Structure 1
Amino acid sequence: MRSKQNLVIVGGGSTYTLGIIMSLVAEKANFPLRKIVFYDNDKQRQEKIAKASEIILKENYPELETFTYTTNKQEAFTDIDVAFIQIRTGGLRMREQDEEIPVRHGVVGQETCGAGGMAYGMRSITDMVALIQDIRSYSKDAWILNYTNPAAIVADALNREFKADERILNICDMPIAIMHSYASMLHKDVWELVPEYFGLNHFGWFTRIYDKEGNDLTDTIKNKILEEGFIPKDKEIAHDESWKQTFKQARQMLIDFPEYLPNTYLQYYLYPDDLAKKEEIGNTRARQVINGREKRVHEQCDQIINAKTAAMIDIESDIHGVYMIRAAASLVYHLQETYIVIVENNGIISNIPNDAMVEVPASLTKHGPKPYVVGEIPRFYKGLIENQLAYEKLVVDAFYENSYTKALQALTLNRTIVHAPTAKAILNDLIKANQGYWPALK
């Protein structure tokens, strides 16, 4: 019998929270809970999600002893075993700025990649550092699983601030979402697949995919993608036209660079001009989310609250939530299961800097992640990674040093921009848009 845990979900007002709640219901035997608490600094936004979640939990998780939601940090973080952090500093309003400003200058507008990723990252660092400090002041031994974007920049900042804290895990669900599609084309369960993977967050490659018996499925997956196409299978993105196009582009990446299976986000760095041409100022991904997922989730919440039941609403667990929950269970219960996570390099990839925050498979234990050695990577991938790593490091340097020059260097290095005058114009616009969020660059 596994011991029951107390969980706080930081960013309780997120539109992903209902999926996490349903995932907690689905995984309650693997990750049993005594208490769930939501924390958010937006009382109104959280309240709608929380009231609907309370009804879902009463109907589907009667074993749960306590469910609360709050904007009070002491109440939220006291007596917590595990924290899931999913914040968005500035909300979707600022995400829309992140994506529109680059598009105005003819380059990729995306929330985690390029200029938008820098803007979001510079906003996230302050709040993330404060949150970790607050959690630690009330629950010094809690496991903290952070999946706040842009994960690479946030992970680098947290590693600088909390290097000795071995109970912080930075993690992203994109690799498992991609594997979900691999599993579907193989007619297997995603948890039957064993990946070999290396890179930075949103900037990596699957080198091999095996099954639990050790059979190499990599060439089968490649051939199926080339012959049959590649489509998203996770329910949250399967019917999203933008995600369909993203997975279609992943097929083109495999045609052009057939050595490894790419993370879908690499499209922004390998085909930036093509991607930029497809974007529209009035129809950014942020606007699509506002008009799509956010509207849909809030309508579902209203229906549940008004009906006082969730029986008529089609909400299921999702791969995003299940991945985080199973990773947490592996840490808490010392299951030593393998997950792709973000850790300091320290020789894992032998021919890139040790202080890089790399995304690789690791065994998750009660002592933290134990990453598997990747070794030396080929020159093409090393070159791409070191360029991206320099961009990420310069963004975090710019934040801590209040350095305009380093922010400009970062954007000029980024493969979605490259042109220095364009980088400078974008940076100046981002500074204006992020007043009150960014440190004053000089």
Structure 2
Amino acid sequence: MGKESLKIVTIGGGSSYTPELIEGYILRKDQLPIREIVLVDIEEGKEKLETVGEMAKRQIKAAGLDWKVTLTLDRFEALKDADYVTTQFRVGLLDARVKDERIPLSHGVLGQETNGAGGMFKAFRTIPVILDIIDDMREQCPDAWLVNFTNPAGMVTEAAIKHGGWERTLGLCNVPIGHTKGGAEALNMPEEDLFFHYAGINHFHWHRVWDKEGNERTQEIIDVLYNPESEARGDMENIHAAKFLYEQVKDLEMLPCGYHRYYYIEDVMLDHSIEEFKEGKTRAQVVKETERRLFELYKDPELDHKPEELTQRGGTHYSDAACEIIASIQNDKHTEMVVSTKNNGTITDLPYDAAVEVSGVVTGKGFVPYNWGAFENPAARGMLQVMKGMEETVIRAAITGDYGAALQAFTVNPLVPAGQTAKTLLDQMLYAHKDYLPQFADKIKEIEENQPEDVQYVDELMKSN
């Protein structure tokens, strides 16, 4: 039925973010002729899917709309004739994130959802699944757009485009939205009166800012946000708001991403993470409690709107941005956004076929990026190239199950100490996530048979969770 009547499928439909996604569609009801929204999940997520699905139905009814909402565990059938597919799933659920954080931190190494060892393992678990989804889409909805906000969004998007061959893929992150709002606030100006130019890779981008008269305002924002007298600002809900080093940011002549804290002030961030670990309050553990409270709210048969508590989850604006991408493609709106997409020469310092996160406009034919060119700051350029090399290696390991590639990725990653620590971490995390890593099955069996100390260590650690 094409553009006259839309079917939108969300994989990971039982996510706590889904009410924001539904709200975003409702806000764009005049732009999106939706006939059906299909929420898909797995057996382990069935209860959450039913809870969120009923809430979605209440939201749509309260808005006076007649959209059909379908809940299913059958992904293949759900994708039949879809126009847009959004992905927001977590392989291994939040318990896997707990392992991603606690195992590295138990060794004094950063454990984080998308950075360091944890981020690499999330990619190992997720990339084979996104490629399976694409296989299903190729058969069931060959013309559909894939809008991914499953983390690590950059690597998942690159795998989808480069290895899955799905050119109609756009990756989303809420971080640039927060930074844009923060930059406008620092200048005490409306966002629409400023131009924000982002470039880099997901959770590792920088940006510059101009006003409508063509005056660059980047250094002014740096001075407001990062001078020694300013208070540290929490530009993100889900990571510690430690202060960047003013002289370093000033030298960059660009504004950093909030996640750059893990690289520019690694010691401060690691110390804070270790303290959280010792107190049993890693981010994953906090999120599990937040989600528990959210789903209790969602069960209320009177609740028919997104609750304010969802902002505590750390993903505010993700879902709304996904809705705007769909609306902009559907209506050729040329909405200015920041997405992960195929480089195609946008950043000359990175491979042509790599995924990059950059500014541009979303049109009826997809995303058109604004050219960035080369990074003038050699330190930023060097760090970016190392990180992209790491990502490419992670993706290769995730697809092939090559242990040597996985170890190479751990060695290249700046947040993992190279050598025996990297190998020990890799082996322990492979064992910990064995149910979700079939591509590494032979190596995991070897670890279980020959490295009982690693197996025992992980089992004891997770018992103490």
TM-score for the superposition, normalised by structure 1: 0.89
Helix, strand or coil at the partner of 1:9: strand
Structure with more relative contact order (C-alpha pairs < 8 Å, separation 6 or more): 1
Q: Which residue of 2 aligns with 1:416?
A: 415
Q: Which residue of 2 aligns with 1:127?
A: 129
Question: What do residues 380-406 of structure 1 show as CA deviations (whole Å, max 9, x unaligned)?
Answer: 111101111111111112223322121
Q: 1:43 aligns with which of 41, 46, 60?
A: 46
Number of equivalent positions = 426
Helix, strand or coil at the partner of 1:96: helix
Helix, strand or coil at the partner of 1:335: coil
Are residues 312 and 288 of structure 1, via their aligned partners in 2, closer, same or farther at CA, if it must alter by over 3 Å?
A: closer
Is the Cα–Cα contact under 8 Å of residues 11 and 87 in structure 1 kept in the other structure?
yes
Is the Cα–Cα contact under 8 Å of residues 161 and 169 in structure 2 kept in the other structure?
no
Q: Which residue of 2 aligns with 1:210?
A: 210
Matches within 5 A, 1:31-430: 31-41=32-42, 42-60=45-63, 62-163=64-165, 165-190=166-191, 193-206=194-207, 208-211=208-211, 214=214, 216-226=216-226, 228-229=230-231, 231-232=233-234, 240=237, 243=239, 245-246=240-241, 248-250=242-244, 255=249, 257-279=251-273, 280-281=276-277, 282-292=280-290, 294-303=291-300, 305=301, 308-310=302-304, 314=308, 318-378=316-376, 379-430=378-429
Helix, strand or coil at the partner of 1:35: strand
* Separation of aligned partners in 1, 2:306 and 2:98: 33
Moved more, 125-134 or 108-117: 125-134
Are residues 353 and 210 of structure 1, via their aligned partners in 2, closer, same or farther at CA, if it must alter by over 3 Å?
A: same
* Separation of aligned partners in 2, 1:319 and 1:87: 17
Q: CA deviation at 1:52?
A: 1.5
* Separation of aligned partners in 1, 2:157 and 2:21: 22
Helix, strand or coil at the partner of 1:6: strand
Q: Which amino acid aligns with 1:102?
A: P
Moved more, 104-113 or 148-157: 148-157
* Separation of aligned partners in 2, 1:15 and 1:188: 33
Q: CA deviation at 1:126?
A: 1.5
TM-score for the superposition, normalised by structure 2: 0.84
Helix, strand or coil at the partner of 1:106: coil
Helix, strand or coil at the partner of 1:436: helix
Moved more, 426-435 or 131-140: 131-140
Q: Which amino acid aligns with 2:158?
A: D
Question: What do residues 110-130 of structure 1 show as CA deviations (whole Å, max 9, x unaligned)?
Answer: 010010001100000121111
Question: What do residues 355-380 of structure 1 show as CA deviations (whole Å, max 9, x unaligned)?
Answer: 32211112222222222221121311
Q: Which residue of 2 aligns with 1:26?
A: 27
Is the Cα–Cα contact under 8 Å of residues 17 and 310 in structure 2 kept in the other structure?
no
Question: What do residues 73-105 of structure 1 show as CA deviations (whole Å, max 9, x unaligned)?
Answer: 244222321111111000000010011111011
* Separation of aligned partners in 1, 2:296 and 2:191: 31
User: Which residues of structure 1 form unaligned runs of 5+?
Assistant: none
* Separation of aligned partners in 2, 1:34 and 1:188: 39
Q: CA deviation at 1:187?
A: 4.5
Question: What do residues 307-330 of structure 1 show as CA deviations (whole Å, max 9, x unaligned)?
Answer: x34379557895222222112222
Question: What do residues 3-29 of structure 1 show as CA deviations (whole Å, max 9, x unaligned)?
Answer: 553212211111111122222222323
Helix, strand or coil at the partner of 1:283: coil
Is the Cα–Cα contact under 8 Å of residues 294 and 309 in structure 2 kept in the other structure?
no
* Separation of aligned partners in 2, 1:251 and 1:6: 48
Q: Which amino acid aligns with 2:299?
A: D
Are residues 103 and 71 of structure 1, via their aligned partners in 2, closer, same or farther at CA, if it must alter by over 3 Å?
A: same
Helix, strand or coil at the partner of 1:79: coil
Are residues 191 and 84 of structure 1, via their aligned partners in 2, closer, same or farther at CA, if it must alter by over 3 Å?
A: farther
Q: Which residue of 1 aligns with 2:12?
A: 11
Helix, strand or coil at the partner of 1:144: strand
* Separation of aligned partners in 1, 2:186 and 2:245: 14
Question: What do residues 224-250 of structure 1 show as CA deviations (whole Å, max 9, x unaligned)?
Answer: 2136445347xxx6xx5x54x33x435
* Separation of aligned partners in 1, 2:119 and 2:287: 17
Is the Cα–Cα contact under 8 Å of residues 390 and 409 in structure 2 kept in the other structure?
yes
Question: What do residues 207-233 of structure 1 show as CA deviations (whole Å, max 9, x unaligned)?
Answer: x22355655432332232136445347
Is the Cα–Cα contact under 8 Å of residues 108 and 273 in structure 1 kept in the other structure?
no
